[in-house]
Structure 1
Amino acid sequence: MKAKAEAQPARLDGLKWALVVLLVSAAVLGNMYFDEAPLLYRAVGVVVFLALAGLVFTQTGKGQNFLVMAREARTEIRKVVWPTRPETMQTTLIVLAAVALVALLLWLIDTFLGWIIQSLIQ
């Protein structure tokens, strides 16, 4: 088992978070302010500002933890044994058959109970 050192808060994290919020706000407000500009230019501007905000985010303590978690998740996803196409089709057909059977049983129960209630009311 790996012993992980307790993460210490990175320096100037508060300032970095403020910059992230400022960049995201600038992207949103800039998109609204330049509503007469072509959509392509506004979209590029938003992407650039969000990319800068993401870059600043990765420099924070939480951003570093996120990057480590993303790398570990990528490693784990490679270990997954994915089903083959025939296995997927077979499982899907089994699920569809089970759903159809349960739907039929519920319809029969509903019809029977409706018939009983109908005969009691009349």
Structure 2
Amino acid sequence: MNSQPEQSVSVIDIVKQVMSVVFVVAGVAAFYYFSDIQLVYRVLCLVAMLLVVVGVLYTTVLGKSVWGFVLESRMEVRKVVWPTRDETMRTTLMVLAMVSIVGVVLWVLDIALYTGVRYLTGQGG
């Protein structure tokens, strides 16, 4: 993680962020308003609008910090030691076995409590 001091947010950045939200809402509204146009064209226009919004947001201080976080996250994911297929299968089977055992134990406990309550309330025989 970077231990950089927090940067001040300018008015231009705030305007860019607000306008980005407005453009996304307008793009979604236009997607539904122009429902008589073929779907592929509406989707392409919506994707183009979202790409423009992402580009504008990248020019803000918040956008650059988010992008830096994404890059650092990618580096951390590369450091992860992933389990082998055999380890994954063993762990999955162990989880399924334990869930089954706990399910049976809870089922037996439920039946015992149900029978006990019926006996105590005089509804069982």
Matched with 1:81 is 81
Identity %: 38
Matched with 2:70 is 70
Matched with 1:18 is 18
Change in Cα spacing, 1:2 to 1:69, as seen in structure 2 (3 Å) is closer
Letter of the aligned partner of 1:21 in structure 2?
V
Higher mean alpha-carbon deviation, 70-79 vs 18-27, is at 18-27
Q: TM-score, normalised by structure 2?
A: 0.87
Matched with 1:37 is 37
Segments of 5+ residues of structure 2 without an aligned counterpart are none
Give the Cα–Cα distance (whole angstroms) in 1 for the partners of residues 87 and 94 of structure 2: 11
Runs of 4+ displaced beyond 6 Å: none
Per-residue deviation, residues 86-120 of structure 1 (Å, max 9, x unmatched): 10110011111111111111111111222222333
Residue 8 (structure 1) aligned with residue 8 (structure 2): yes
Give the Cα–Cα distance (whole angstroms) in 2 for the partners of residues 66 and 2 of structure 1: 12
Q: Is the 8 A contact 1:19 1:56 kept in 2?
A: no
Higher mean alpha-carbon deviation, 5-14 vs 82-91, is at 5-14
* SS of 1:89 mapped into structure 2: helix
Provide the alpha-carbon RMSD of the alignment: 1.8
Q: Is the 8 A contact 1:9 1:61 kept in 2?
A: yes
Deviation at 1:4, TM superposition (A): 1.9
Change in Cα spacing, 1:42 to 1:70, as seen in structure 2 (3 Å) is same
Segments of 5+ residues of structure 1 without an aligned counterpart are none
Give the Cα–Cα distance (whole angstroms) in 1 for the partners of residues 105 and 3 of structure 2: 55
Deviation at 1:18, TM superposition (A): 3.1
